[in-house]
Amino acid sequence: MALKDIRAEDEVFLREGALGVGAVREVRPDSLLVWLEGWGEATLGAEHVAAAHDGKVVLDPHALPDDMRDRLLHAHDGEFRDPAAIAGDQPPPRGDEAGETDA
């Protein structure tokens, strides 16, 4: 994959349709400097990029080092994923669910 179509601030994904796992910080002639969630800064070559379009850089997970791929697969594990609760559509927890006890 040619790096010429990639721009700084493009979002980085592990696969199409997935949540973003980072962003491009700098495009170099033969590599990208990226920031990856749960990893930090990394330099990736063209061999690590499966596709680049519409401000998105999709990585080839099989080309990544095993430890990096494993970390990125779990980058969003700790995030809250209940859209109804985020929107405030769920009732507040009862006292016993909130860790309160009767005195």
- Higher-pLDDT residue of 99 and 42 is 42
Domain ranges of the chain: 11-76
Q: Which residues of 30-50 are buried (b: 16+ CB within 10 A; e: fewer)?
A: eebebebbbeeebebeeebbb
**In whole angstroms, how far apart are CA 40 and each of 24, 48, 77, 83?**
12, 16, 17, 28
- Share of residues in the chain with pLDDT > 70 (%): 73
The chain-wide mean pLDDT, for the chain, equals 82
Q: What sign results for the dihedral spanned by CA atoms 49, 51, 55, 57?
A: negative
pLDDT per position as a tens digit, 46-63: 999 999 999 999 999 999
